[in-house]
Structure 1
Amino acid sequence: MSVDLVGRRLFASPQAAKAEAVISLEDFHVIKMLPVGNPHGSYFSPTLNRLFVVDGAGGEVKVFDGTTFAPIGKITLTAGADGLAYNPSTNLIYVSNGGEGSGMEHAVLSVIDPVKMEKATDIEIATSGIEGVAINIDRNVAYVNLDEDDRAVALVDLGRHQVVAKWELPGRHRAKGIAFDKIRNRLYVACRDTKMHGSVVVLDATSGRAIKTLPIRAWADGIYVDQKRGRIYVSSGLGYLESFAIGPKDTYRPLPAVETAMLAKTMFFSPDLDRVFVDVPHVGEGTEDGASIMIFKPVP
């Protein structure tokens, strides 16, 4: 998910609908459904007034006008295009693609120029897939979760366009989501361990040293840092939004979990709106089980 703060709109990716949903943040109705074969990551550029949506089916990034939502371009990548990360210091977009899903021996982090609406270059990464990307704008590096079977995080120099380090995770943690804590220089890696249990592995963002492992429920995906409150938010597919209070000297206190819904593992936290959005997929039949987005206000 992503937001347009000025236009008060939320963009979400209901995959089963094969569309990108444009939702009003004023009255929460669906403004428009944009045709996208297999929508994944998205980013709205307020300066360009353009919406960029990764289409895994077409192996491309679709670009829509932010006012009319008419398609205005597409950037061709490879099959299985998935996650998206935006670097505000360089105004570049990074999209994960390639790997096993496209019949390639390596994955690719493609660098997208949103002004020209074209691919600038590819960064090759030795893994069968990329699970998550977080960017450190001060060092101009990206932290990339490799395929979950690799159980590792790669450090990518975005200036040199190459991997400069690979940090293996302890135990049998399979990396999925990742968040960078600029204030504390920490990485929080959401991992899937078993069918019922998962972990948040805390790493030093400079050395990759494993500092602590925090138990969570299974099928984690999204993870974010709330700098205002000093908290970690992570969503699990077992139906809970979990959080930890970050204390001094790498201490982490679990807070009461909040119920969401089964398979609601995709989430988005907007510090500007001070809201957590949890994507609930369609399960079963009937309106009560239809796809929806749950919205939470952190307290206090």
Structure 2
Amino acid sequence: MYPLKKLPICIFLGIGLLWLANNGNAQTKVQALIPRDEIVLPDVKGGFDLMAYDFLHQRLFLSAQDNHSIEVIDLKYNKPIKSLAGFNEPKWVFYHPETNVLYVATGRDGKVTAVDAATYQKIKTYVFKEACNNLRYDKLTNQLFVGIGHTFGAIGIIDLNTHKISRQIPLAGFPKQFELTPDRIYVNEPSKSLIEVIDRKTNKIIASWPVKSDKDNVPMAIDRAKQRLYIGCAGGRLLVFSMTSGKELSRIAIPKDVDGIYLDSKRSRLYVSCGEGFLDVFSIQKDELSLVQQMRTRRGAGTGLFIPIANLYVLAEPQNEILPAALRIFQPAL
């Protein structure tokens, strides 16, 4: 547990003042995300990467990559409950509710570690050649897909039935975020300014789509119903691609250092978190995106997560010279 009561009162006053100063919307047409709570993480140093949610126990698992830990947060009572140390730059987490196991991908040592989410003990490690990043899960096949590499690129496949690495699919460049469909894998490869498409039946590349950017296509979101990919470029662009033709359909300017894009299909919105210090909400009308809300956040706050089942959006804000790290919780407006 974190000693919240021992924090100086000036820190809490500072948090409140900064919230009032920065929570005003830089550009707002509607209030699409409504601030609900803030959870202070005083012992977490540095920045964050991705998160996973446990609906049954209302736990959030947050990769504190610079702190080399996984932070476990109770979203029912809005408090930290556990810090899991000993991970070598955790990048991505996936929670498997059927087995109550957490999978952690680490960047520096190229591992995916399985953790018993009841005891928080490590139970198995899958070792790859280089950095592990993005994790995606296919429930139908019970496979966990892993983005691998820094000097090279591959998608690794862990068979959770046999608990073995079953395959690695080579790529043109190292993968950042990728998305699955039943028959395809769409992979962002910024070092090559490409989106590569993998046929899951043959495990081979069937298409390579150029991205007109400066080797900065990092986050990705998929709209399976509309057959669209949303690609974030760190230099300050949000692109819409057709999943059928591979063509860029539209683009729009966004703040720099985008790291998270999430689709809210129920409301036809995109939630876009940018490390420059902004959280943008876009309305989707056909292939056109329009900004409906922009909120100032802390610089470096690029890690977000939309949780449809809980109707929440959460944003991780790193510590700075004045304030400790914190998790901000928003409620999407109807």
- Fold match (TM-score > 0.5): yes
Alpha-carbon offset, residue 268 of structure 1? 1.0
Structure 2 CA distance for aligned equivalents of residues 57 and 38 of structure 1: 6
C-alpha distance in structure 2 between counterparts of 1:171 and 1:53, whole Å? 30
Counterparts of 2:58 and 2:155, CA distance in 1 = 30
Q: 1:270 to 1:168 in 2, by over 3 A?
A: same
Local SS of the residue matching 1:17: coil
Distance 2:59 2:129 in 1: 29
Query: Secondary structure of 1:83's partner?
Result: strand
Aligned equivalent of 2:184: 141
Other structure's SS at 1:30 match: strand
Deviation (angstroms), 1:55: 1.7
Name the CA distance, whole Å, in 2 between partners of 1:173 and 1:19.
29
Partner of 1:103: none
Maintained 8 Å contact 1:74/1:117:
no
Matched, 1:289 2:323: yes
Task: Give the match for residue 5 of structure 2.
Answer: none
Residue 265 of structure 1 is matched in structure 2 by 302
Tell me how far 1:172 sits from its aligned partner: 4.1
Does residue 49 of the first structure (1) align with residue 92 of the second (2)?
no
| Deviation sequence 1:213-239 (CA, Å, 0-9, x none) | 011010001101001100111111111
| Structure 1 counterpart of 2:273, from 221, 227, 235 | 235
Cα shift readout 1:5-61 (whole Å, capped 9, x = no counterpart): 011100001112211111111112222111212111111101111110112222111
Distance 1:136 1:230 in 2: 20
Structure with larger RCO (C-alpha < 8 A, sep 6+) = 2
After TM superposition, the score normalised by the length of structure 1 is 0.90
CA distance in 1, matches of 2:187, 2:229: 11
Q: Which residue is equivalent to 2:163?
A: 117
Q: Partner of 1:73: helix, strand, or coil? A: strand
CA offset at residue 282 of structure 1? 2.4
CA apart distance, 1:283: 2.5
| Counterpart for residue 70 of structure 1 | 121
2:162 and 2:74 map into 1 onto residues whose CA distance is 28
* 2:333 counterpart residue number: 299
Deviation at 1:241, TM superposition (A): 0.8
Cα displacement (A) at 1:171? 5.0
For 2:304, the aligned partner's letter is M
- DSSP-derived class of the 2:123 partner: strand
**Where do 5+ consecutive residues of structure 2 fail to align?**
1-50
C-alpha displacement at 1:173, in angstroms?
6.5
CA distance in 2: counterparts of 1:182 and 1:90, whole angstroms: 18
**SS at 1:272 equivalent:** helix
TM-score between both structures, scaled by the size of structure 2: 0.81
Query: How many aligned residue pairs are there?
Result: 283
Partner of 2:177: 132
RMSD across aligned C-alpha pairs, in angstroms?
Answer: 1.4
Q: Which amino acid in the other structure matches residue 232 of structure 2?
A: A
- Aligned mates of 1:217, 1:243 — CA distance in 2: 12
Aligned to 1:87: 138
User: What letter matches 2:53 in structure 1?
Assistant: V
Any idea what the Cα deviations from partners look like across 1:158-181, whole Å, max 9, x if unmatched? 221121110001354620100110
Q: Counterparts of 1:1-300 in structure 2 under 5 Å?
A: 1-35=51-85, 36-100=87-151, 106-127=152-173, 129-137=174-182, 140-146=183-189, 148-170=190-212, 172=214, 174-193=216-235, 198-248=236-286, 250-284=287-321, 288-300=322-334
Letter in 2 for 1:34: L
**Equivalent-residue separation in structure 1 for 2:110 and 2:216 (angstroms):** 25
Question: Is the Cα–Cα contact under 8 Å of residues 172 and 192 in structure 2 kept in the other structure?
Answer: no
